[in-house]
């Protein structure tokens, strides 16, 4: 078999490709929090943790896991306990200096809370080194320079759940005892040389935000293996991993921008030969839409199976406002092109149908892109304009020339979870995957995602809620032009019009809408 063109390209869609000694996907916060808790409790010299949101009182361990350890379960208590037990330990916490829009959803006076924890070796700092109206969205935990975790999960309230995603779970609650909804996410674990550039990334952001830190060498001590940290992880036994970022500096700063994740998503989609599997919280990126259109309309390439797993709806009213027509516009565009050119497309959500008929949906917060069972990317970047061109984001990716059993097993395991099945074998084969999943919507926890009609979208609303680039002096007109251009593609609009005409004639049934 002749080698295929690689997806990962150093300097184009990733900044680093480095060796790994061990890697895995940690699905859902029950598994990730247990691994992170044990890694922090056993840290020898330093802990670095960066995120979009933290909650000092979030319980990282629940039930039997909490009862079986002497270390506190709550985040800040755990960090304090670890520093008291180890006088050499230094802890660095870097949190997004968030927008006032999120004020009522965040822990107040958080810096004071962490600074008054009782240890001067817990260092808390706000991250505000980003472009205007952006956010710091990377999620990264580095311990002793030897292991790291990165993906979609922050250590905060409302995230904890098991892979069972029961409609009701007495352990799934916030610090105030308020129940939380089912929640799905994915985090990556790495051990080995690839940790060094991740630690350097954290160091750079700490310094850019005015922090004081010496460059710290990896601890000369055998790092914990994943099996020592937790069970239930899904291995990725590949020899190297790539690091990709979205990074845009504040106006006036000369730090070069990195838009590697946008290019990574574009390249992966356009090089797909059999399958594109996506889990996303948001799906509004015009760059991703254009990549799909280029791939789906290329008759010289094989037909694809396209599977998209999405939340049933926005997590908050402002999210539903921000998504609005833009997500329906993008999904309708992909579906239209897939049907027009003979590809199989399925968009799904997941949850339990209650006796009342109500759907207790599992919220999808993961950011996973998997192609042909030879490539997988796990990270913080949504398929939105802002994640790919404005916010700070971080993804880890793995690639092999030919299909790798571990990537196939990961995909099948994720689909089995979404369907509520303990047997993933039904989802191993790529051929006919969309058809099998569509059939499973009648008997499992998987449900068709209802795509609203959207043959048009307000580009100015999209500009306000999901900008494609930073706002700066003299940049607004350019951003407005770019927004209009995104919705003014004749070849795309004609495809939408053909799809709508087919629907009006009855060629496409209502339940596919």
Beta strands in 217-304, from DSSP E residues, in sequence order: 234-235, 240-247, 258-259, 275-279
The answer to whether the beta carbons of residues 134 and 386 sit under 8 Å apart is yes
The pLDDT of 141-154, averaged and rounded, is 98
Q: What CATH number does residue 373 fall under?
A: 3.30.870.10
Both structure tokens of 45: 């010299």
Both structure tokens of 29: 């916060």
SS3 of 367, please? coil
The pLDDT of residue 54 is above 80: yes
Residues 189 and 264 in one domain: no
User: Which of 218, 235, 252 is the endpoint of a domain?
Assistant: 235
Asked if the structure places residue 342 within a domain, the reply is yes
Asked if the structure places residue 241 within a domain, the reply is no
Residues 228 and 310 in one domain: no
Give me the pLDDT at residue 325, please.
Answer: 79
Residues 402 and 504 in one domain: yes
Asked if the structure places residue 301 within a domain, the reply is yes
Give me the pLDDT at residue 347, please.
Answer: 98
User: Which of 200, 235, 270 is the endpoint of a domain?
Assistant: 235
User: For residue 175, how many other CB atoms are within 10 A of its CB?
Assistant: 13
User: Which of 201, 220, 235 is the endpoint of a domain?
Assistant: 235
Determine the Cα–Cα distance for residues 10 and 13; give it in Å rounded to an integer: 6
Terminal C-alpha separation, the chain: 40
Question: Bridge-partner residues for 149, per DSSP?
Answer: 141, 189
Give me the pLDDT at residue 105, please.
Answer: 60
Specify the number of domains making up the chain: 2
Predicted confidence (pLDDT) per residue in 357-377, tens digit:
999 999 999 999 999 999 999
Asked if the structure places residue 15 within a domain, the reply is no
Determine the Cα–Cα distance for residues 16 and 295; give it in Å rounded to an integer: 26
Determine the Cα–Cα distance for residues 339 and 94; give it in Å rounded to an integer: 45
Determine the Cα–Cα distance for residues 9 and 16; give it in Å rounded to an integer: 9
Report residue 139's pLDDT band, with 50, 70 and 90 as the boundaries. very high
The pLDDT of residue 114 is above 70: yes
Asked if the structure places residue 447 within a domain, the reply is yes
Give me the pLDDT at residue 403, please.
Answer: 83
Residues 299 and 373 in one domain: yes
Residues 298 and 434 in one domain: yes
Give me the pLDDT at residue 460, please.
Answer: 47
Instruction: Give the strand pairing for 186-191 and 147-151.
Output: antiparallel
Residues 57 and 173 in one domain: yes
Average of per-residue pLDDT values in the chain: 88
Asked if the structure places residue 10 within a domain, the reply is no
Give me the pLDDT at residue 433, please.
Answer: 98
Report residue 226's pLDDT band, with 50, 70 and 90 as the boundaries. very high
Give me the pLDDT at residue 494, please.
Answer: 52
Q: Which residue has the higher pLDDT, 506 or 163?
A: 163
SS3 of 284, please? coil
Asked if the structure places residue 354 within a domain, the reply is yes
The answer to whether the beta carbons of residues 27 and 3 sit under 8 Å apart is no
Kind and range of the H or E run holding 50: strand 46-51
Residues 222 and 285 in one domain: no
Residues 310 and 402 in one domain: yes
Give me the pLDDT at residue 223, please.
Answer: 95
The answer to whether the beta carbons of residues 150 and 52 sit under 8 Å apart is no
Asked if the structure places residue 249 within a domain, the reply is no
Residues 88 and 126 in one domain: yes
The pLDDT of residue 499 is above 50: no
The pLDDT of residue 475 is above 50: no
The pLDDT of residue 310 is above 70: yes
Q: Which domain holds residue 342?
A: 260-512
Give me the pLDDT at residue 484, please.
Answer: 43
Lowest mean per-residue pLDDT among 336-345, 451-460, 496-505: 496-505
The answer to whether the beta carbons of residues 480 and 468 sit under 8 Å apart is no
Predicted confidence (pLDDT) per residue in 99-112, tens digit:
555 555 657 678 88
The pLDDT of residue 439 is above 90: yes
Residues 297 and 409 in one domain: yes
Residues 277 and 213 in one domain: no
The pLDDT of 52-58, averaged and rounded, is 93
Residues 281 and 158 in one domain: no
The pLDDT of residue 160 is above 90: yes
The pLDDT of residue 473 is above 50: no
Q: Which of 81-90, 113-122, 251-260 has the highest mean pLDDT?
A: 81-90
The pLDDT of residue 479 is above 90: no
Give me the pLDDT at residue 317, please.
Answer: 62
Report residue 175's pLDDT band, with 50, 70 and 90 as the boundaries. confident
Lowest mean per-residue pLDDT among 32-41, 146-155, 217-226, 486-495: 486-495
């Amino acid at each position: 078999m002749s080698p295929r063109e690689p997806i990962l390209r150093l300097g184009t869609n990733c900044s680093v490709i480095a060796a790994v000694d061990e890697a895995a996907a940690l699905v859902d916060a029950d598994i990730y929090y247990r691994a992170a808790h044990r890694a922090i409790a056993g840290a020898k010299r330093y802990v670095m943790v960066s995120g979009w949101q933290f909650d000092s009182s979030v319980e990282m361990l629940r039930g039997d896991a909490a009862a079986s350890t002497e270390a506190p379960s709550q985040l800040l208590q755990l960090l304090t306990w670890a520093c008291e037990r180890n006088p050499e330990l230094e802890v660095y916490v870097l949190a997004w200096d968030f927008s006032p829009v999120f004020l009522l959803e965040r822990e107040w006076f958080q810096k004071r809370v962490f600074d008054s924890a009782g240890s001067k070796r817990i260092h808390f700092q706000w991250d505000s080194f980003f472009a205007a109206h952006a956010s710091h969205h990377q999620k990264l935990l580095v311990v002793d320079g030897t292991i790291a975790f990165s993906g979609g999960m922050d250590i905060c309230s409302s995230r904890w759940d098991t892979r069972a995603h029961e409609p009701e779970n007495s352990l799934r609650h916030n610090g105030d005892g308020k129940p939380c909804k089912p929640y799905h996410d994915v985090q990556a674990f790495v051990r080995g040389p690839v940790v060094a550039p991740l630690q350097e990334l954290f160091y750079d952001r700490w310094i850019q935000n005015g922090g004081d830190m010496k460059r710290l060498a990896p601890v000369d001590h055998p790092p914990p293996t994943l099996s020592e940290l937790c069970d239930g992880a899904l291995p990725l036994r590949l020899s190297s991993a790539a690091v990709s970022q979205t990074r845009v500096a504040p106006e006036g700063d000369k730090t070069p921008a990195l838009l590697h994740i946008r290019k990574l998503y574009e390249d992966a989609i356009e090089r797909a030969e059999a399958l594109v599997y996506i889990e996303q919280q948001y799906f509004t990126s015009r760059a991703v839409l254009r990549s799909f259109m280029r791939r789906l309309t290329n008759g010289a390439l094989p037909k694809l199976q396209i599977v998209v797993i999405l939340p049933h709806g926005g997590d908050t009213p402002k999210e539903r406002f921000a998504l609005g027509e833009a997500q329906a516009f993008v999904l309708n565009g992909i579906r239209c092109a897939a049907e027009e050119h003979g590809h199989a497309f399925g968009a799904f959500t997941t949850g339990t149908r209650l006796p009342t008929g109500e759907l207790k949906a599992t919220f999808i917060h993961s950011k996973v892109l998997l192609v042909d069972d030879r490539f997988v990317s796990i990270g913080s970047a949504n398929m939105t304009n802002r994640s790919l061109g404005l916010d700070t984001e971080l993804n880890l990716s793995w690639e092999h020339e030919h299909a790798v059993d571990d990537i196939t097993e990961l995909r099948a395991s994720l689909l089995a979870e979404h369907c509520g099945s303990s047997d993933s074998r039904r989802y191993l084969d790529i051929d006919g995957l969309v058809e099998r999943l569509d059939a499973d919507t009648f008997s499992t926890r998987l449900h068709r995602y209802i795509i609203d009609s959207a043959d048009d979208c307000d580009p100015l609303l999209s500009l306000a809620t999901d900008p494609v680039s930073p706002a700066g002096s003299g940049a607004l007109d350019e951003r407005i032009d770019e927004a209009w251009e995104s919705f003014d593609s004749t070849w795309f609009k004609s495809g939408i019009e053909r799809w709508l005409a087919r629907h009006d004639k009855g060629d496409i049934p209502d339940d596919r809408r």
